[in-house]
Chains A and B, each alone.
Chain A
Amino acid sequence: MKELVVLSGKGGTGKTVVLASFASLAKNPVIADCDVDAPNLHLLLSPTVKERGRFSSKKVAVIDGRLCNNCRECVAACRFDAFSIIGNEHLQKVAIDADACEGCGVCMRVCPSRAIRLKEQDSGEWFVSETRFGPMVHALLAPGGENSGKLVALVKQKAKVMANRTGAETVLVDGPPGLSCPAIAAAGGADIIVLVAEPTASGLSDFARIADLCSQMKARTALIVNRWDINSRVAESIEGEASARGIQVLGRIPYDEMVPSLLAKGKTPIESSDGEARAAIVDIWNKLRDME
């Protein structure tokens, strides 16, 4: 079983469309959406949820007002400015800002009256579903949720277990934008990372940074330039940068007006009988299969 992860650094370059297209071309894949805070793959794959569960990873400190003797040891010890003093001059109380709290537990350990404890906070939900292309694992982080990297790792792990059970040859992973914890978690353990870049000044800068991350992680990496004809000069610069780094250039996808219309109907470019984007993606998929 091989794991293919699509990443981009910059958002909106077309990761989800490319991944959904691969899903419609692959033989018996397991599909995973690891963009857990703004997932979109389900909008194209219309999954039927078979199994779901809550995800909680973040803890926050809560104070038992009956036990608190207002000594403020917690206020002094907290490095995240999560504590504040509320009330007036006659009656003052210590309060916790749950958003600022990182759940380190220092306050709980320094509290002489044992008035503080850590409480698990609901951080999201995961789903195992069925789609027209195969089983899919996806998730939704609670708004403003932390530890999205852990939810990404959970989705990937469930997808692998599923692939082992069904004997799937490929796990196809739609990654998040950016290059911090969720992207690092998505890239971890990938057999191949496919970077989708757009030919813009921003796209070139962002490609260089995500390519740095891939090489730090020692992952085999390949490049697709999407909507290349918006700026062929920048497209060439990105491909040149890729070649210089030993990243294989898989191909270019042209700007194709059919694509937005297909997406609006919840279809991948492959599910149309023709189209320039379709032809390019089929060609890229065949190259990817030859790489293995």
Chain B
Amino acid sequence: MPAKSTGTSTDHPTENDSSYRRLAGLQASKRNMVRISIASGKGGTGKTLVATNLAAVAADAFLVDLDVEEPNCHLFFDGKELSREAVSRRVPFVNEESCTHCGNCAEVCEFHAIVSLPKNVLVFDELCHGCGACSMFCPEDAIEERDHHMGEIIHLSASGLLGLTYGRLRVGEASAATLIKRVKRGMTNNRLTIIDCPPGTACPAVESMRGTDLCVLVTEPTPFGLHDLKLALDVTKKLRLPHVVLLNKAGLPGPDIKKFCADNGLPIVGEIPLQRAIAETYSEGKLLVRDPGFKKLFESMLERILKEAEKT
């Protein structure tokens, strides 16, 4: 867990300070320990757009992509692969010679991952949670645990970042949350870390948001965006996670997100306008902040986010 900042106020920045210097200088010690999760509820609201561009303007941040099912952050950086680790989980392997088909293993498995038949035992790796009950309670000691490949963790060096790490779930593997936990274990806690989360409100999204200092909920002014923002707020509430809202595609004809946020006391840290040029830049796998105007916008959003994180 990262250390929490204490929330003392800092000197007022002068007009001609660049936001970068303000953030990097005055708040260096606090900023270095902050973990920011970028989440949404609804998919496609712009989490990856926000995470990659915020990390790029921070210039001294780690970017971690926990959307292990569909990781995309790395597509936006000219990265060089530093290392790649295979991640596996333990699943039972039944030694048929020692097995007496007593059925104990199937009985103690709460996940129905083992079926004991009169002449053999079937193991369903995808249902196994790796709790070890089957091998622990096998009276013949006939079950050993073997590695089941579930994905990989990739570390990249990327210009403009301290580093980029992402998990990649093996296609066909059911449990994303298990890999997310493993990626999180390797995260540093003394640097500003920006975390791109998967969509939804189920266990992978929750596991990605858990333990961060501030959650930025990216939403859009559509009925879907507002509805899923409310669902995401149920999660931040349940986790007691400090959170702010970032409004993307501002200008779409739809529900009034600003009014909803005002009515519910939710700070909006910034707005990204609805512009075809943004969609086109994103579609090419390019960062928006190469444009000076957008760079300013993301710098001001990062500043606001770090200020909110400091309050927590």
Residues in chain A near residue B111, CB distance under 8 A: 104
Check: A216 CB closer than 8 A to any chain B CB.
Answer: yes
Q: How far is the CB of A55 from chain B (nearest CB, A)?
A: 13
Check: B93 CB closer than 8 A to any chain A CB.
Answer: no
* A148-B202 in contact (CB<8A): yes
Whole-angstrom CA separation of A138 from B238 in the bound complex: 23
Residues in chain A near residue B284, CB distance under 8 A: 201, 231, 234
* A230-B280 in contact (CB<8A): yes
- Residue total for A at the interface (Cβ-Cβ under 8 A): 65
Check: B199 CB closer than 8 A to any chain A CB.
Answer: yes
* A141-B199 in contact (CB<8A): no
* A38-B238 in contact (CB<8A): no
Binds A, one of B3-11, B68-76, B78-86: B68-76
Q: How far is the CB of B290 from chain A (nearest CB, A)?
A: 15
For window 38-80 of B, CB contacts with A under 8 Å fall at 41-45, 48, 69-70, 72, 75-76
**Mask: chain A, 199-215; 1 = CB below 8 Å from B; 0 = not:** 11111011001101100
* A182-B202 in contact (CB<8A): yes
Binds B, one of A64-72, A159-167, A256-264, A284-292: A256-264
Tell me the nearest residue of chain B to A103, going by C-beta. B110
* A213-B171 in contact (CB<8A): yes
Q: Would A181 and B175 be within 8 Å (CB), given that A40-B42, A80-B131 are in contact?
A: yes
Q: How far is the CB of A79 from chain B (nearest CB, A)?
A: 6
Whole-angstrom CA separation of A77 from B135 in the bound complex: 12
* A12-B43 in contact (CB<8A): yes
Whole-angstrom CA separation of A38 from B72 in the bound complex: 21
Whole-angstrom CA separation of A12 from B48 in the bound complex: 12
Tell me the nearest residue of chain A to B72, going by C-beta. A202
Residues in chain B near residue A227, CB distance under 8 A: 279
Tell me the nearest residue of chain A to B132, going by C-beta. A79
For window 103-146 of A, CB contacts with B under 8 Å fall at 103-106, 109-110, 118, 141, 143-146
* B175-A202 in contact (CB<8A): no
* A178-B204 in contact (CB<8A): yes
* A79-B69 in contact (CB<8A): no
The answer, among B69, B130, B201, for a CB contact under 8 Å with A38, is: B201
* A264-B223 in contact (CB<8A): yes
Check: B283 CB closer than 8 A to any chain A CB.
Answer: yes
Q: How far is the CB of B69 from chain A (nearest CB, A)?
A: 4
Residues in chain A near residue B48, CB distance under 8 A: 202
Residues in chain A near residue B69, CB distance under 8 A: 9, 177-180, 183, 209
* A38-B41 in contact (CB<8A): yes
* B131-A264 in contact (CB<8A): no
Whole-angstrom CA separation of A175 from B72 in the bound complex: 20
* B204-A143 in contact (CB<8A): no
Residues in chain B near residue A202, CB distance under 8 A: 48, 70, 72, 75, 282, 285
Check: A247 CB closer than 8 A to any chain B CB.
Answer: no
Check: A266 CB closer than 8 A to any chain B CB.
Answer: yes
For window 174-232 of A, CB contacts with B under 8 Å fall at 176-184, 198-203, 205-206, 209-210, 212-213, 216, 227, 230-231
Binds A, one of B15-23, B28-36, B152-160, B250-258: B250-258
Residues in chain A near residue B276, CB distance under 8 A: 230, 255
* A201-B253 in contact (CB<8A): no
Check: B198 CB closer than 8 A to any chain A CB.
Answer: yes
The answer, among A40, A145, A231, for a CB contact under 8 Å with B203, is: A145
Whole-angstrom CA separation of A181 from B202 in the bound complex: 11
Residues in chain B near residue A77, CB distance under 8 A: 132, 136
Check: B222 CB closer than 8 A to any chain A CB.
Answer: yes
Residues in chain A near residue B201, CB distance under 8 A: 37-38, 141, 143-145
Check: B294 CB closer than 8 A to any chain A CB.
Answer: no
Tell me the nearest residue of chain B to A184, going by C-beta. B174
* A180-B283 in contact (CB<8A): no
The answer, among B72, B171, B202, B227, for a CB contact under 8 Å with A145, is: B202
Q: How far is the CB of B57 from chain A (nearest CB, A)?
A: 20
Whole-angstrom CA separation of A288 from B173 in the bound complex: 29
Check: A169 CB closer than 8 A to any chain B CB.
Answer: no
* A260-B129 in contact (CB<8A): no
* B234-A143 in contact (CB<8A): yes
Check: B292 CB closer than 8 A to any chain A CB.
Answer: no
* B254-A264 in contact (CB<8A): yes
Whole-angstrom CA separation of A13 from B45 in the bound complex: 10
Can you sample 29 A-B contacts with CB below 8 Å?
A: A12-B42, A12-B43, A35-B200, A40-B42, A43-B227, A79-B132, A99-B206, A103-B110, A104-B131, A104-B133, A141-B202, A144-B201, A144-B203, A145-B201, A177-B69, A177-B70, A179-B70, A180-B175, A181-B174, A200-B279, A201-B285, A202-B70, A205-B70, A209-B69, A209-B171, A212-B172, A216-B172, A230-B279, A264-B255
10 A-B pairs closest in CB distance: A12-B44, A11-B43, A201-B285, A104-B131, A231-B283, A200-B283, A143-B234, A178-B69, A202-B72, A181-B174
Show the binding face of B for A, using Cβ within 8 Å: 41-45, 48, 69-70, 72, 75-76, 108, 110-111, 129-133, 136-137, 169, 171-176, 198-206, 210, 222-224, 227-228, 231, 234-235, 237-239, 252-255, 276, 279-280, 282-285
